[in-house]
Chain A
């Protein structure tokens, strides 16, 4: 070996090695794991999301089928049975949802409630202008009191005697319809707009983004009020209101995905082979953005439902007699102190929906996370 300091490697110093080695690749065991299969395997592990998915499924099924099999129509009024508390067969034997109501009366008037009296809870005296008046706090069966002994309104009735059970599920159906439709249309617009903006970039992107900023800059509430006033309150106008600005978030996300993937080497590789823009967008870039799209759409559904309820609550709701969760909440609000069940059930359903959709979305996000791929 030369001790020469400037010695360099020469051609004789190196040679191809391992040239005789045969390459052995082990065969893979099991089935090929595709994208959705992989995501499903990870989604399953997240128990909270699975439960949330079941809850969503349950609520959707109820929204579809409960009104069909309910004994009363959603607009059927029983004017003499206004504001009845919930009464459910079987459960009433246990003392819950038994159609009971607690009222306070003068002891002398007990006779009026003789038939429907269930329990005397308390006796006390009320001093009024130095006179002692004996009082009673009693629990009565409101159904028998109002002459509706044969009826079972599972979630009670509203002030004009409409069955809350059927109205609630009908309302959920409409809220979900508005939610899903608006999100679906938002996705379509957002994907197309975002794809074009992100894929072509440059000046096209600049102009398209300025347009978005102008649309996004208009206050949502003002625009939606004007819109509902102009179009009239209805499912269609509600969906349109939610589409007005709702697609912006989706398009921004898609644009970001395009910016991320369009210079990926597999996109370049496909381009060197002569792939057209259409192929690159729909075959290479968009499928890789499908995870974020689904996740974002899932998160968009509860927020659309929430916006709908919010506008309904402000009185911009769906036209009567059609219910929606927001309309029911607005109606029930007037009776909140005396008959909380009118608010309770719609509030429960919407809270459950919100919670379930968010948990479900979280699970999806984790499942589709590219960093978790193959784990």
Chain B
């Protein structure tokens, strides 16, 4: 892991407009973070808090409303020429949540895996492409015979491994894993995580790991960003977040993790997060560094109160 920032997101906003006159849906609201090369950043939060939208905006599936996205030292939001676009499409890849929906049922595994290579014209010869595909299949634990098969013949875990192979074949610098295990059987989840973990070690991959399963994120990520209502409320190393959460929302989220011990579990108390605590327009909530590398979203008044304490 180096300090070189592979991805930097600055004040990213993505609003959705339902109608001309209605208020915008602020799916992502002034989000800033960065990821260092070789690092894994976990992005957690409840359903609908804007995690997926953030990921999709970063990889250019959505046009950001405002803000900047820098990848490998180049700004990648907005219009890009063909060469710049290729630098993104081949060097940043995504693994999706639903392994059933993310594989085209009409294509064979070979066609699916080779698609990105073909589009980005990475290996012009068919032989080379096929060789590379076999290596990818091997890397995720599938066999060569699987290449001619159609997705519906595979189990969920196998399909997710195909998705990973598809993402890896273009030799990306960074992978956005959008809840890659939440649609899977618990017994398969470990398998997929292990594959990702091994690949991370072997290839030095940078991963933006989007999930709502806190216990998974914790042990998979170096740093964790907690999102709520389109904002990052707390950003720190995963150890800090879990051991010394600062923001009320983070505390509430952590209190919801079940403990695999019935005696403790019985007495576990949920800390509920009051929605009215969300920030109004005059609060100027900002990420403030409370400890080195530990950022918490605080309004002006909260910040003053914290500094006094």
Contact = CB atoms under 8 A, between A and B. Distances in A.
B276 to A, nearest CB: 24
Given A269-B96, A288-B105, A33 B153 contact: yes
19 contacts: A1-B261, A11-B238, A14-B215, A16-B197, A23-B191, A25-B141, A33-B153, A35-B106, A264-B101, A265-B98, A266-B102, A269-B163, A272-B59, A273-B89, A273-B120, A274-B116, A274-B119, A279-B119, A288-B106
A273 B119 contact: yes
A11 B148 CA distance: 42
A287 B106 contact: yes
A162 B200 CA distance: 83
Judged by DSSP, the binding face of B is helix
B98 A274 contact: no
A10 B116 contact: no
B141 A272 contact: no
Contacts of B145: 27-28
B16 to A, nearest CB: 13
A1 B267 CA distance: 13
Interface string B101-134: 1111110100010011001100000000000000
A108 interface: no
Interface string A259-274: 0000011101111111
A281 B86 CA distance: 20
A7 B89 contact: no
A274 B149 contact: no
Interface of B: 56, 59-61, 85-86, 88-90, 92-94, 96-98, 101-106, 108, 112, 115-116, 119-120, 141-143, 145-146, 148-150, 152-153, 158, 163, 166, 170, 190-191, 193-194, 197-198, 215, 218-219, 238-239, 242-243, 254-255, 257, 259, 261, 263-264, 267-269
A146 interface: no
A273 B170 contact: yes
A14 B94 contact: no
Contacts of B198: 19
A9 B257 contact: yes
A135 B145 CA distance: 86
B154 to A, nearest CB: 9
Contacts of B116: 273-274
A296 to B, nearest CB: 18
Given A272-B61, A272-B94, A10 B119 contact: no
A273 to B, nearest CB: 4
Contacts of B257: 8-9
Contacts of A264: 101-102
Find the residue from A11, A21, A269, A271 having the highest chain B CB count within 10 A: A269
A266 B101 contact: yes
A6 interface: yes
A273 B115 contact: yes
A274 B120 contact: yes
Given A11-B239, A265-B96, A28 B254 contact: no
Interface of A: 1-3, 5-11, 14-19, 21-23, 25, 27-28, 32-35, 264-266, 268-275, 279, 283-284, 287-288, 370, 373-374
A55 to B, nearest CB: 30
Judged by DSSP, the binding face of A is loop
A270 B166 CA distance: 10
A284 B102 CA distance: 11
Contacts of B105: 35, 288, 370, 373
Contacts of A287: 104, 106
Contact of A25 (B86, B142, B190): B142
A66 to B, nearest CB: 39
B104 A284 contact: yes
Given A23-B191, A28-B153, A374-B152, A269 B102 contact: yes
Contacts of A1: 261, 263-264
A333 to B, nearest CB: 49
B150 A33 contact: yes
Contacts of A269: 94, 96, 102, 163, 166
Contacts of A25: 141-143, 146, 158
Contact of B243 (A10, A265, A374): A10
Contacts of B115: 270, 273, 275
B150 A11 contact: no
A292 B249 CA distance: 47
Q: List the 10 closest A-B pairs by CB distance, nearest first.
A: A274-B89, A265-B102, A23-B141, A273-B116, A265-B96, A266-B104, A287-B106, A265-B101, A5-B267, A374-B152
